[in-house]
Structure formats: structure tokens, C-alpha cells
A and B are shown apart, each in its own frame.
Chain A
Amino acid sequence: MTNHISVVDALSTKLVFVGPMGAGKTTAIASIADSPPVSTEMPMCEPPVGDKTSTTVAMDFATVRIEDDHSVFLYGCPGQDHFEFMRPILLQGAFGAIVVLNGADPDIVGQSTYWARIVTDFDASLPMVIGITRTDEAHQFDLITVRRAMRAHGISAPVFTFDARNRQQTAQLVRALLLMLD
């Protein structure tokens, strides 16, 4: 099956997932996409997070068809710092960004402002939703402190906890983003 997609539509329906490696970007994209994302997975050269032995080095790509000839393009930005140059390339022309973070990270507060700032530094008016995974496993997870830190950085994006493996929960992030565009 081939998709006929015009360039204009391609620019206007791009959604980008950013965040550190192991947070759940690829999983989130896979949860809502029509087919498994095309990802460039490579063995990691940095210390592994949990049992993860591979991570996305270049990017993830997948589509969500919205009508016969229209698709939303989902992109996952590589998490590692040395792929920083990829972020503005992928964010360019997106209608929104979803920041995916690992709630089990002891520095979740620092991580959330760090990654949200990457998006707002690129474009302060770009609609953004923060999604935090693994809060089921992290008993000390503190949403209120994350919210407070975001506010201190002048960021008013919704902060949602979710399970990237769950389609409904991942879709909630997209819904919130769409409501911000309305």
C-alpha cells in the first residue's frame, strides 16, 4: 500500500517526540502508529538503562493515517546529546512536541525542565505536552515538584503521567496537544 502525501500536508501534520533515551519515545510512537515505527536501533555505547541494550541513534518514524490520503507523521528524536543537531531538523514544521521522560529517573525534575527547554528554546510557542512514564514503578515520583519546576521556568505545558505501552494513555497526550491547538 502506498501513501500519496503532498509536501504541504507533510509539513502541517508532523508530531515530534523528544526526550532522553529509555524514556519511552519509540514505545509511545509504536502504541499509536498504524504500523511499527521505522527505527534505527543500534547497540548502545553509553551505559545501559535497565535491561535496554539498544536505543534509537538516529530517529523513529511512523505514520497515523487520518483519512485515505492524509497521514500524521510521527518522529522520535534521538535522546543522546551527540545527536543534538537532529532536534531542530525534526522539530522544524511540527504542529507540536511531546516530551517523553522517565519518571523513575531520580533527577526527573532536572530532566523535565532540561527537555522542555529544548523545545521552548527552539520555538516558545510550539504546543507541547510533557509525558512521564514508569510512575507505576517509581514510588517516590513527585508530580507536584515537576509542575513547580516547570512553572519556575515559565512553562505551562500539561504534565501527564502515562504508560507508553498503552495506546489509550499515549493518545491522551496527543488529544491534549490537539485541544491546545483548538
Chain B
Amino acid sequence: MGLNIVVCVKNTPSTLSVEVDSSTGQVKTEGLLFAINPLDEYAVEEAVRIKERVPGSTVTVLTLGSEADQAVLREALSRGCDSAVLLTGPELLGGDTYATSQALAAAIRKLSGQKPVHLALFGKNTNDGNSGVVAGQTAAWLDWPCVISVKKIESIDESAALVWRMMEDGIDKIKLQLPAAIGTIKEINEPRLPSLRGKMAAKKAAITKWTAADLGFKPESKARIARSSPPPHRPAGQRLEGGTPEELARRLVDALLERKLLS
């Protein structure tokens, strides 16, 4: 009884001011501080909450990354996940979302061979790549239904879940048959901090490591970043200061009309 949940996370740079190597056009990530992708914290918390809600449930945290990226797995373990899997090795690293999701799906399939996985949870998007499609792509490889932008899991058991999806014009309620993938958003919960006991346990936990050979294939990318560059510099702005609010308002409206920003 209970649900077997996999939560997919990524170790990402915690600073957003990154630089580009001008000779290769690629982002320089060496020496940056890395941490769990902020939006993945909500997926981890939701997985742990479901485990607390449905007795007998387990949570496996899954990442694709380097040996150093294991830190993100230990972070998730300290927040209540039970076991961890690292997908690693040169044949898996550096892929696009197509290749990455294929590897994640293969790992979920492999885990399902041990005990059936009911649910895969994801954060909204990463703060480095910003694509927000890995949940949908992983589900597609598995032929599972997927709902993203989920702000609430109203009810869940081993066979189905009722979820609230935030749309641009309101809230959709969707009934999902499991197994399924869910992409969460920030509103879904308030992540707790790791407990001291959790941290101790996470330090000692064994981490399963799988390479492309364990998955049985080498994923292939379909897209690559040819080069990165800083966005165009914003020209120095205009400052409106001094005078009465009425005067400032007049000058602002003049400036907006001049720039054709008011109709």
C-alpha cells in the first residue's frame, strides 16, 4: 500500500549573474555556488507531504548530474526523501531537455521494475535553463499523463489524483489516473527546512548511481546552445524629480506620449 513517488531535482547555480566565455560562447559555471533549484524545493516538499498523508508511501529523489551534484540529493534526503538516485557519466551529462528527460524516464522505468512508481513530481522550471518542459517530456517518454502548473493536489491515492491547475484565466480541476507526472508551482506549499536528524541521516545515506550503461542506451540531444551572450545593455534612463506631484505627473505623461506608450 501507499504510493511510490519519484521527485526529480537539479543542482543549479544559486547566483544569476553568470558570465560567458567569449571564446566558446558557453556559460562559465566553474567556481559558482550551486544549490537545489529553488522551484524544486516545492516538488520535494509536496512529495514528502503525500508520503505523510498516504501511509506506506516512499519518496525517491532523482537527479542527473556530476558527482558533485550529489549534494542536491543529500539536501532532498534531509528534507524527508527516503532514497536517492544519481544519473551520471559523460554520456548523460550536457544533454538538452530531450536527452535529459529520456534518461530520467529510463531511470523511472528501472525503478518501477523494483516497485511500481505511481507519481513523478517536478518543479516549475530550473533557474538556469528556464525551459519548464522536462515534466512533460519525461511523461511523454513514459506514456503517462502529465499536468503542469499544479497549485494543489486535492486528493490522491494509488490509482488517481485530483489536482488544481493554475491557468492564465483561472483554475482548472483535473482528474488524473496514476501513474502520472505533475509539474508543481510555488503556490502548492511552503517548504520546510531540513531537520537536524534529517541532515545526519542524509550524510550517511547510500546513493544509487547509474550511468548510460545501466540505463542501456545513450540519449541523444536534438537542440544545443550554439552560444550565449549578455542581453543588450539598457541605455541610461531619464529621471523625473522635484516639483509637485501634479508637475511630475504631467512630465511623466508627456514622456510616455512622446514614446508612444499611451494610447
Is chain B a partner of chain A in the same complex? no
Residues in chain A within 8 A of chain B (CB atoms) = none
Interface residues of B (CB under 8 A from A): none
